[in-house]
Amino acid sequence: MTHPRKLLYLALAAAFAAPSAYAAVDLIAVGSLDGHVGDLATQTSAPLENGAPGNLFGGIGSGIAYAGCNTLVAVPDRGPNAIQYDTPVSDTASYINRFHTLSFELVSGTHTLPFDMNLTLTATTLLRTAQPLVYGDGALAGLSSGAPALNSTDHTNYFTGRSDNFDASQLSTDALDARFDPESIRVSSDGANVFISDEYGPYIYRFNRKTGQRTLVVPVPDSFAISNLRANGDDEIADNTAGGRISNKGMEGLAISPDGNTLYGVMQSPLAQDGGTNGAYTRILKIDLITGATAQYAYPLTNIGSSSKPKYPTVSDIVAINGHEFLLDERDGKGLGDDSTAAFKKIFRVDLDGQQDVSGLTGEAALAPAAVGKTQFLDIVTVLNAHGFNSNDIPAKLEGTAFGPDIVVDGDTKHTFIVANDNDFIGTVTDSNHPAGIDNPNRFFVFAVDPADLPDYVPQQLASGVCKRK
């Protein structure tokens, strides 16, 4: 007799293997920004502990958001930590967290696609707070203090990517920890602020878009936090098996409702109490910004293994179609930057309307009956392959997603959907697939979506002139 769980996996695998019902979603443009240069925060350009420039321009596809007109905002993660130099802090450095403002235009294509995407970096904004933050002293890792020297110069407290910047006596969601690992960004409807979610807490903070000052801490339930904080990620995972987020797999995605009143954060992998990286259901957290009320939903990860040996990808982002429907970016870690071949990078559609709140449920077995349904919306690898991209050259970390402005393609108005990569601050990749080296820029892929495929799409209601705020 086949075990019921195996039957469930087989059924889900069959459902998710079905072709997308959204055949009109197609690639129309590609854009890139050099991964070897510095950003506009020149005051941070001094070498970090690992020798990398402190203003290296990279990782900006960790999270992207449309800010109206021809403007995007993009957030890099905790900095250039792919350089091995200090295991006790997981090779993290005192990179000051920041977000970037980009201008873009879609112009008639010069190659095989209808358009080219031209991008320009127009601003770099450092993230800070007036409150004193907890920085590590670096003693156990043989390092100096984790507090940036720029703190005293600017009379403020900057957030950084270094993993030892925490108070061990508090939960990981303590808002006074200096460590911050941004993964997703959304613009407030008034345009004055951005919301950023993170993996260390997980945190959700609001920052002033012009100054980078933290203006709000959005509380996250304690069940998402861990209590045994460690500077080394592997140690932190080993010491927190009972509950909370898995180290480096926190709140990877963030969506904002069209009216700007509600946030939706999605965890990259299931919480420890739900099975961790071996679990089949991760959580979407809904937060009402007016009342503070929260709800949670179980999102079923695709089994890319087998029924007997399940294996799950991670979720990298979530973006709102309207007030209750969303697109989620689910992917493997394969492709350019991983010395492997990209295989599974898909966008799924979910509807949370009427779905069960699982805030009071714990564990895979409890979450399974309450899991939301999902429909495949876009197979990124298949579409990129069709346009001549070799699977070895598709970025491993396609993480940031956003709807952009509508555009006319061959006389028809289309929605645009933008996907960006986190290049890990590595401007050139040299590996077995690319022994001579290959450029690894900050890359943006623009897809056109037929309005008939998203008849209920509601763009975010941004204030007039919002894109002029920098």
Question: Is 90 exceeded by the pLDDT of residue 273?
Answer: yes
C-alpha angle 5-7-10 in degrees, rounded to nearest 5? 115
What is the reported pLDDT for 209?
Answer: 97
Tokens representing residue 61 in the block: 């596809």
What is the reported pLDDT for 468?
Answer: 53
What is the reported pLDDT for 279?
Answer: 97
Q: Find the mean pLDDT for residues 199-204.
A: 98
What is the reported pLDDT for 21?
Answer: 53
Query: Which residues have C-beta within 8 Å of that of residue 370, sequence separation ≥ 6?
Result: 297, 298, 355, 356, 358, 361
What is the reported pLDDT for 177?
Answer: 98
What is the reported pLDDT for 465?
Answer: 62
Question: Is 50 exceeded by the pLDDT of residue 14?
Answer: no
> What confidence tier does 109 reach under pLDDT thresholds 50, 70, 90?
confident
Angstrom distances, CA of residue 389 to CA of 39, 51, 141, 335, 392: 28, 33, 42, 11, 8
What is the reported pLDDT for 110?
Answer: 81
What is the reported pLDDT for 332?
Answer: 97
Question: Is 50 exceeded by the pLDDT of residue 461?
Answer: yes
Q: Find the mean pLDDT for residues 270-289.
A: 98
Note whether 106 and 115 are within 8 A (CB). Answer: yes
What does pLDDT average to over the chain? 94
Q: What would the pLDDT profile of 352-407 be if each residue is shown by its tens digit?
A: 999 999 999 999 999 999 999 999 999 999 999 999 999 999 999 999 999 999 99
Question: Is 70 exceeded by the pLDDT of residue 195?
Answer: yes
Q: Find the mean pLDDT for residues 45-68.
A: 97
What is the reported pLDDT for 467?
Answer: 57
Question: Is 60 exceeded by the pLDDT of residue 1?
Answer: no
CB atoms inside a 10 Å sphere around CB 378: 25
Question: Is 80 exceeded by the pLDDT of residue 161?
Answer: yes
Q: What would the pLDDT profile of 212-240 be if each residue is shown by its tens digit?
A: 999 999 999 999 999 999 999 999 999 99
Q: Find the mean pLDDT for residues 126-130.
A: 98
Q: What would the pLDDT profile of 239-272 be if each residue is shown by its tens digit?
A: 999 999 999 999 999 999 999 999 999 999 999 9
What is the reported pLDDT for 13?
Answer: 39
What is the reported pLDDT for 11?
Answer: 39
Residue 395 CA to chain centroid, in angstroms?
14
What is the reported pLDDT for 470?
Answer: 43
